[in-house]
Chains A and B, each alone.
Chain A
Amino acid sequence: MAKLDLIMFEEEYKLLQEIIGRLAKDASAKVVFLVDKNGQQIAAAGDVKSIDATSLASLTAGNVAATDGLAKLIGEKEFSLLFHEGEKDNLHISIVGKRGILVVIFDQNSSLALVRLRVKKASKELQEIFDQVEQRAQKESDTGSRFESPFSEITDEDIDRLFGD
Chain B
Amino acid sequence: MTFINYASREINCKIVYYGPGLCGKTTNIQWIYEQANPEKKGKLVSLATETDRTLFFDFLPLDMGTVKGFKVRFHLYTVPGQVFYDASRKLILRGCDGIIFVADSQRARMEANIESIANLATNLKENGFDIRSIPYVLQLNKRDMPSAAPVTEMERLLRFRGEPMIEAVANQGTGVIETLKAAARQILMELQRS
A-B contacts, 15 listed (Cβ < 8 Å): A1-B2, A2-B128, A7-B4, A8-B3, A10-B6, A13-B6, A14-B7, A38-B1, A40-B12, A42-B5, A52-B43, A59-B45, A154-B189, A159-B181, A163-B181
Q: Is B188 an interface residue (CB 8 A)?
A: yes
Q: Is A162 an interface residue (CB 8 A)?
A: yes
Query: For the complex, what is the distance from the CA of A5 to the CA of B5, rounded to whole Å?
Result: 11
Q: Is there contact, CB below 8 Å, between A58 and B75?
A: yes
Q: Which residues of B contact A6 (CB under 8 A)?
A: 1-4
Q: Which residues of B contact A154 (CB under 8 A)?
A: 67-68, 188-189, 191-192
Closest CB in chain B relative to A146 CB, distance in Å = 8
Partner of A66, one of B6, B88, B181, B189: B88
Q: Which residues of B contact A158 (CB under 8 A)?
A: 67-68, 188
Q: Which residues of B contact A161 (CB under 8 A)?
A: 65, 67
Q: How large is the interface on A (under 10, 10 to 19, 20 to 34, 35 or more residues)?
A: 35 or more
Q: Is A112 an interface residue (CB 8 A)?
A: no
Given A40-B14, A163-B184; 17 other pairs, CB 8 A cutoff: A1-B2, A13-B7, A14-B7, A40-B12, A42-B3, A42-B5, A58-B77, A62-B56, A151-B67, A151-B70, A151-B188, A154-B188, A154-B191, A161-B67, A162-B64, A162-B72, A163-B177
Query: Chain A interface (Cβ within 8 Å of chain B)?
Result: 1-10, 12-14, 36-40, 42, 52, 54-55, 58-59, 62, 65-66, 68-69, 149-154, 156, 158-159, 161-163
Closest CB in chain B relative to A90 CB, distance in Å = 21
Across the A-B interface, give the 10 residue pairs with the lowest CB-CB distance, nearest first: A38-B95, A13-B7, A65-B91, A151-B191, A2-B128, A162-B64, A150-B68, A10-B7, A54-B61, A2-B129
Q: Which residues of B contact A2 (CB under 8 A)?
A: 127-130, 134
Q: Is there contact, CB below 8 Å, between A13 and B14?
A: no
Q: Which residues of A contact B127 (CB under 8 A)?
A: 2
Q: Is there contact, CB below 8 Å, between B7 and A151?
A: no
Q: Is there contact, CB below 8 Å, between B42 and A54?
A: yes
Chain A binding surface, main DSSP class: mixed
Given contacts A3-B128, A54-B42, A162-B67, contact A62 B57 (CB under 8 A): yes
B29-49 vs A, CB cutoff 8 Å, 1 = contact: the mask equals: 000000000000011010100
Q: Is there contact, CB below 8 Å, between A8 and B42?
A: no
Query: Chain B interface (Cβ within 8 Å of chain A)?
Result: 1-8, 11-12, 14, 42-43, 45, 47, 56-57, 59, 61, 64-65, 67-70, 72, 75, 77, 87-88, 90-92, 94-96, 127-130, 134, 177, 181, 184-185, 188-192, 194
Partner of A38, one of B7, B14, B61: B14
Closest CB in chain A relative to B63 CB, distance in Å = 10
> In this complex, what residue of B is CB-closest to A147?
B6
Q: Which residues of A contact B70 (CB under 8 A)?
A: 150-151
Q: Is there contact, CB below 8 Å, between B56 and A7?
A: no
Partner of B1, one of A3, A152, A156: A3
Most buried by A among B59, B61, B95: B95
> In this complex, what residue of B is CB-closest to A69?
B87
Given contacts A52-B43, A54-B43, A58-B59, contact A152 B3 (CB under 8 A): no
Q: Is there contact, CB below 8 Å, between B64 and A4?
A: no
Q: Is there contact, CB below 8 Å, between A8 and B67?
A: no
Closest CB in chain B relative to A9 CB, distance in Å = 5
